[in-house]
Structure 1
Amino acid sequence: MKPQLRQTLDGGKKNSLTDGEFAGAQENKSWNPPSLNREEYDDIVGIDLPALEDYLRPANDTWIDGRIVTLLSHYYVPNVPFDVQVAAHEDWVRLLSPFPQWAIEAAVDEWLSRPGRQKPMPGDIIAACRWRVEEPALNLKLLRKLVARYERELPGGRT
């Protein structure tokens, strides 16, 4: 993504604070996407949007399945019936399925590198995934707003 486009998208964001601490970026609802020229539009539609959509594409369930089996193998839990293990595992896969592979992998690695022996719950990994995809997802939303404005302004509508 070109620096000028990044600056444009930054105008559509505002920092969120929780108890005086930075809590991430949110969409600035009063942001009015600027007009694009044809070259900028073509770059966004042909390069930036597909790249960001690919970056945020959810991991496939088979990969998530294997990653969770590996993660949970670090934690011994005696006498859990097999059907309960399967049901719990299905919860993990279902809850992590919206996230890209890179975000899940980073969240799991972060958890495993922590000191202590606490077994993660799905919400622990989900929170770490959300934090990682928050800004790219916001960028994607703002890019789509830029494109929509350009297409609305075309004579006769979208190309």
Structure 2
Amino acid sequence: MTAQPRSAPPGGASPSVVTHLPSRPPLPFDPAAPAHERGLALAAALPVPLRTVLASGRVERRPRFGDRGFDGVTEEWTPPDGVSGQHALMARRALDELTGSILAPASPDHLLARVLALLSHYPAKGTAPEVEHLVALDWAEDLGEFPAWAVDAAARTWRRTQKWRPSIAEMRALCEEACAPEWALARRLSSIAVAGSASGGDGAGEGTGHGRAGRLRALAGGAVRRMG
């Protein structure tokens, strides 16, 4: 919510009008839907002013080079001018819901069960069961940042397309690919929140606002993503 000053009665303190964001249903999400359709559904559920800002942002693409030469394209999204504190409030609300539900990390138990099931399809000869369990624990830790549905999708893709046991790097790449549209939206929302906070109209500099702004800048700093 945001406070807007208004005229105070003579001799009285300056009151404020508090504007609450209207309630709305949870963001729609179907992990079984194609990535493009998931992205469209999420964007369509956002408030119209926020959708307008997202559609008006600037995208800059640059070639990316690694040790082996050309390594894809990086894409950086920048919000348009005129992002307000109200836009920032909307963006933070959507971002909190997106990262707190759709992109919430999988539980350790789910990860361990999924990894053990995947590895059982590709048994390692000569590896003791206790060692295999330790390997699965390592994998569960390395996949801990991803939501359960992305890990499930990565495991399903590997089972259906590969004959050999994957490496953890390959599984992480599949997980990143699975939830790339959702993280791209999260980064754009965080960029809007940072831009709106900088306008000074959302109270981000009060109370714990500095800590929140720092977290948003850290997330917005990851707005450059790799495009294969």
TM-score by length of structure 2 reads: 0.56
Structure 1 residue 91, shift from structure 2 partner: 1.5
2:109 counterpart of 1:70: no
2:123 counterpart of 1:123: no
Q: 1:153 to 1:88 in 2, by over 3 A?
A: same
List runs of 5+ in structure 1 lacking aligned partners: none
- State the alpha-carbon separation in 2 of the partners of residues 128 and 33 from structure 1: 32
Residue 107 of structure 2, aligned match among 60, 63, 72: 60
- State the alpha-carbon separation in 2 of the partners of residues 71 and 5 from structure 1: 42
Structure 1 residue 35, shift from structure 2 partner: 2.4
Identity of aligned residues (%): 19
- State the alpha-carbon separation in 2 of the partners of residues 97 and 155 from structure 1: 36
Is the contact between residue 56 and residue 136 of structure 1 (CA under 8 Å) also seen in structure 2? yes
Q: Find the counterpart in structure 2 of residue 132 from structure 1.
A: 178
- State the alpha-carbon separation in 2 of the partners of residues 146 and 133 from structure 1: 20
- State the alpha-carbon separation in 2 of the partners of residues 81 and 15 from structure 1: 48
Deviates further, 130-139 or 119-128: 130-139
Deviates further, 100-109 or 80-89: 80-89
TM-score by length of structure 1 reads: 0.76
- Normalized per residue, which structure has more strand? 2
Larger CA Rg, structure 1 vs 2: 2
Structure 1 residue 117, shift from structure 2 partner: 2.0
List runs of 5+ in structure 2 lacking aligned partners: 1-42, 207-228
Q: Deviations over 1:8-43 (max 9, x none)?
A: 35x2x3345569x99465224xx3543234553443
Q: Find the counterpart in structure 2 of residue 27 from structure 1.
A: 76
Q: 1:33 to 1:82 in 2, by over 3 A?
A: same
Q: 1:78 to 1:32 in 2, by over 3 A?
A: closer
Aligned length: 153
Is the contact between residue 59 and residue 99 of structure 1 (CA under 8 Å) also seen in structure 2? yes
Letter in structure 1 aligned against 2:52: Q
Superposition pairs of residues 80-159 of structure 1, within 5 angstroms: 80-114=127-161, 116-154=162-200, 157-158=203-204
Letter in structure 1 aligned against 2:106: A
Q: Find the counterpart in structure 2 of residue 43 from structure 1.
A: 90
